[in-house]
Structure 1
Amino acid sequence: MTITDVNAAFATEKTTQLADRRARRDAAIQRETNKAAWIAGEVASGRMVQIAPDRYRVTSGWDRGETFTVRRDLATGQIAEIVANHGLDIAADGTVALYSAVPAWHGLGQIIPGGIDNIDEVLRLGGIDWEVARREVRYSFMLDGEERPTLRTAPGHHVTVREDTGEALGVVGNKYTPIQNRKLFEFLEDLVRQGVVWESAGSLRGGRRVFVSMRVPENIVIDAGGIADEVTLFIAAMNSHDGSSRAETVVTPWRPICANTERFAVRDAVTRWGIRHTAGALDRLEEARRSLGLTLRYGEAWAAEETALAHTALAIDEFHRVITDLWPIEEDANDRVRGIATRRTERLDAMFRSEAERLGRTSYAAERSVTDYLDHVAPRRPGRTMTEEIARATALLEGSDDDLKSKAHKRLMLLIRR
Structure 2
Amino acid sequence: MSAEVETMMFTGRERPWHGLGTQVEEAPDSKEALIAAGLDWDVVQRPVFTQDGVKVPGYFANVRQQDGSILGVVTSRYKVVQNRDAFAFTDELLGEGVRYETAGSLMGGRKTWILAKLPTRYIIQGEQILPYLVFSNTHDGSGAIKIAMTPIRVVCNNTLNLALNTADRCWSIHHTGDIAAKLEDARETLFMAEDYMNELGKGFEDLSRKRLTDAAVEEYIQELLPIADDASETTEKNILRLRKDMAARYYDAPDLQGVRKNGYRFINAVSDFATHAAPIRRTKNYQETLFNKTMEGNPLTDKAYRLVMAA
TM-score (norm 1): 0.63
Cα deviations by residue, 1:125-173 (Å, 9 ceiling, x for unpaired): 2211111011122232xxxxxxxxx322233322111111111111211
Contact 1:261 1:397 in 2 (8 A): no
Answering whether residue 117 of structure 2 is matched by residue 212 of structure 1, we say no
Contact 1:110 1:125 in 2 (8 A): no
Give the corresponding residue for 1:388.
Answer: 286
Give the corresponding residue for 1:174.
Answer: 76
Give the corresponding residue for 1:23.
Answer: none
Give the corresponding residue for 1:187.
Answer: 89
Runs of 4+ in 1 over 4 A off after TM superposition: 327-330, 332-341, 380-383
Q: How far off its partner does 1:197 sit? A: 2.5
Give the corresponding residue for 1:202.
Answer: 104
Give the corresponding residue for 2:40.
Answer: 129
Using CA pairs below 8 Å that are at least 6 residues apart, which structure has the higher relative contact order?
2
Provide the C-alpha distance between the structure 1 equivalents of 2:164 and 2:224, rounded to a whole number of angstroms: 16
Query: Which of 281, 297, 304 is the matching residue for 2:202?
Result: 304
State the AA in 2 paired with 1:88. V
State the AA in 2 paired with 1:377. A
Answering whether residue 9 of structure 2 is matched by residue 99 of structure 1, we say yes
Give the corresponding residue for 2:275.
Answer: 375
Answering whether residue 186 of structure 2 is matched by residue 288 of structure 1, we say yes
Provide the C-alpha distance between the structure 2 equivalents of 1:112 and 1:238, rounded to a whole number of angstroms: 23
Alignment coverage as a number of residue pairs = 301
Measured at CA, do residues 282 and 333 of structure 1 come closer, stay the same or move farther in structure 2, by a change above 3 Å? farther
Measured at CA, do residues 298 and 170 of structure 1 come closer, stay the same or move farther in structure 2, by a change above 3 Å? same
Give the corresponding residue for 1:138.
Answer: 49
Q: Which stretches in structure 1 are left out of the alignment for 5+ residues?
A: 1-83, 90-96, 141-149
Answering whether residue 1 of structure 2 is matched by residue 88 of structure 1, we say no
Answering whether residue 124 of structure 2 is matched by residue 222 of structure 1, we say yes
Cα deviations by residue, 1:13-70 (Å, 9 ceiling, x for unpaired): xxxxxxxxxxxxxxxxxxxxxxxxxxxxxxxxxxxxxxxxxxxxxxxxxxxxxxxxxx
Match runs of 1:6-405 below 5 Å: 85=2, 87-89=4-6, 97-105=7-15, 108-109=21-22, 111-113=24-26, 115-117=27-29, 119-140=30-51, 150-193=52-95, 195-223=97-125, 228-253=126-151, 263-285=161-183, 287-327=185-225, 332-336=229-233, 338-339=236-237, 341-355=239-253, 356-377=256-277, 379=279, 386-399=284-297, 401-402=298-299, 404-405=300-301
Q: How far off its partner does 1:254 sit? A: 5.3
Provide the C-alpha distance between the structure 2 equivalents of 1:187 and 1:315, rounded to a whole number of angstroms: 47
Cα deviations by residue, 1:362-402 (Å, 9 ceiling, x for unpaired): 3212111222323333748777xx43223332333343x34
Provide the C-alpha distance between the structure 2 equivalents of 1:172 and 1:409, rounded to a whole number of angstroms: 38
Contact 1:251 1:296 in 2 (8 A): no
Q: Which has the larger radius of gyration?
A: 1
Measured at CA, do residues 272 and 292 of structure 1 come closer, stay the same or move farther in structure 2, by a change above 3 Å? farther
Provide the C-alpha distance between the structure 1 equivalents of 2:40 and 2:127, rounded to a whole number of angstroms: 38
Provide the C-alpha distance between the structure 1 equivalents of 2:28 and 2:34, rounded to a whole number of angstroms: 11
**Alignment RMSD (CA, Å):** 3.0
Cα deviations by residue, 1:230-268 (Å, 9 ceiling, x for unpaired): 11111110111111111101111259xxxx976233335
Q: Which stretches in structure 2 are left out of the alignment for 5+ residues?
A: none
Give the corresponding residue for 1:21.
Answer: none
TM-score (norm 2): 0.83
Measured at CA, do residues 174 and 206 of structure 1 come closer, stay the same or move farther in structure 2, by a change above 3 Å? same
Contact 2:74 2:141 in 1 (8 A): yes
Provide the C-alpha distance between the structure 1 equivalents of 2:72 and 2:288, rounded to a whole number of angstroms: 20
Name the SS for the 1:232 alignment partner: strand
* Identity across matched positions, percent: 27
Contact 1:267 1:410 in 2 (8 A): no
State the AA in 2 paired with 1:409. Y
State the AA in 1 paired with 2:22. G
Give the corresponding residue for 1:75.
Answer: none
